[in-house]
């Protein structure tokens, strides 16, 4: 047979046949190609050895005493630890009924004796490739679930922190003009309850909205340009502003670049401003 040495034919294969000469023929073929091979002569031995060392795939004869191949396959599929192991029937039975029964019992493929070595290798490697892809997909799903869980926990932690601090905290994303690329406003991404109270809005009403420019026009219009400078130049901003709405309120504003946006922290320093003259006296 022709053999492509570039193929990665590494797998742990279990051969199940009551005739030693059949086992020897298959074992010699697969060992030559680099597979790890174990051989047993009964279905019960196949189940027992698979529990000890799980095979990647099983090549299973049908006509055997004690347990035939159909019963062995069904026993594999009924066992939670073994049910995912692919089973390829390899038998002299060539009737359509036998083949259908093999698939109904849980087999993934059927090779008829006498077989060609090339056919066995191709069918075997096809099933092993499917198993590798399945494991790769399962690993990817598991990694994504782990990442999602970590992300969920991180978000829960951040939310807890944002809700417990006394400072107003927000994260905003730049909104740029399509033609010029200049920042025209900022979109709210994260807003804690303190910021929402300052805006006299619910947090849910602020997320995703363009409210910063309009809000700053009522308080300190030049602060909007300073926020733009933080994003474009990457220089942190620290400034005190005051707002009069019924009463005068002072805030310390800190802004730090975050991607194509910034984080904003507002700290109410009104009390500090009110007692400052008394301290100076």
CA proximity to 46, closest of 31, 34, 62: 62
Per-residue tokens: 164? 């417990």
Q: Parallel, antiparallel, or unpaired for β 87-91 and 109-112?
A: parallel
Distance CA 210, CA 199 (A): 12
Domain 12-140 adopts which CATH fold?
Rossmann fold (3.40.50)
What's the pLDDT score for residue 5? 41
Question: Which of the pair, 89 or 132, is modelled with greater confidence?
Answer: 89
Domain boundaries of the chain, sorted by first residue:
12-140, 165-280
Q: Is the pLDDT of residue 276 over 90?
A: no
Burial call 165-180: b when 16+ CB within 10 Å, e when fewer = eebbbbbbbbeeeeee
Number of residues that this document lists for the chain? 281
Q: Which CATH superfamily is domain 165-280 in?
A: PAS domain (3.30.450.20)
Distance CA 34, CA 266 (A): 67
What's the pLDDT score for residue 228? 92
Distance CA 67, CA 39 (A): 16
Residue 83, strand partner residues = none
pLDDT, the chain, mean:
86
Q: Is 0.75 surpassed by the pTM of this model?
A: no
Question: Which of the pair, 19 or 1, is modelled with greater confidence?
Answer: 19
What's the pLDDT score for residue 4? 46
Q: By the 8 A CB rule, do 222 and 192 touch?
A: no
What's the pLDDT score for residue 80? 93
The mean per-residue pLDDT over the stretch 167-194 comes to 90
What's the pLDDT score for residue 181? 93
Per-residue tokens: 180? 């010029």
Residues 6+ apart with CB under 8 A from 264: 168, 169, 170, 171, 172, 195, 227, 253, 254, 255
pLDDT tens digits, 249-273: 888 999 999 999 999 888 888 888 7
The mean per-residue pLDDT over the stretch 103-127 comes to 90
Phi, psi dihedrals of residue 178, rounded to the nearest 5°: -60, -35
pLDDT tens digits, 125-176: 999 989 888 888 888 888 888 888 887 776 676 667 777 778 888 889 999 9
Same CATH fold assignment for domains 12-140 and 165-280: no
Handedness of CA 103, 109, 112, 113 (dihedral sign): negative
């Amino acid at each position: 047979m022709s053999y492509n040495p570039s193929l990665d034919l590494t797998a742990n294969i279990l051969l199940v046949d009551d005739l030693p000469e059949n086992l020897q023929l298959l074992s010699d073929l697969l060992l030559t190609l680099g597979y790890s091979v174990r051989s047993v002569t009964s279905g019960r031995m196949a189940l027992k050895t698979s529990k000890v060392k799980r095979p990647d795939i099983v090549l299973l004869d049908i006509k055997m005493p004690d347990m035939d191949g159909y019963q062995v396959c069904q026993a594999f599929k009924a066992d939670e630890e073994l049910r995912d192991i692919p089973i390829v029937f390899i038998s002299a039975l060539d009737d359509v009924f036998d083949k259908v029964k093999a698939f109904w019992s849980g087999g993934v493929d059927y090779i008829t004796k006498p077989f060609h070595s090339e056919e066995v290798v191709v069918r075997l490697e096809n099933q092993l490739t499917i198993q590798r892809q399945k494991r790769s997909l399962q690993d990817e799903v598991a990694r994504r679930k782990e990442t999602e869980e970590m992300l969920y926990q991180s978000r829960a932690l951040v939310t807890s922190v944002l809700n417990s601090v006394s400072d107003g905290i927000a994260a905003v994303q730049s909104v740029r003009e399509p033609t010029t690329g200049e920042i025209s406003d900022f979109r709210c991404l994260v807003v804690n309850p303190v910021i929402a109270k300052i805006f006299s809005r619910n947090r849910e009403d602020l997320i995703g909205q363009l409210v910063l420019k309009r809000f700053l026009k009522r308080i300190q219009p030049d602060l909007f340009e300073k926020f733009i400078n933080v994003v474009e130049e990457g220089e942190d901003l620290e400034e005190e502003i005051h707002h009069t709405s019924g009463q005068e309120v002072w805030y310390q504003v800190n802004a730090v670049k975050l991607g194509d946006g910034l984080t904003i922290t507002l700290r109410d320093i009104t009390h500090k401003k009110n007692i400052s003259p008394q301290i100076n006296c």
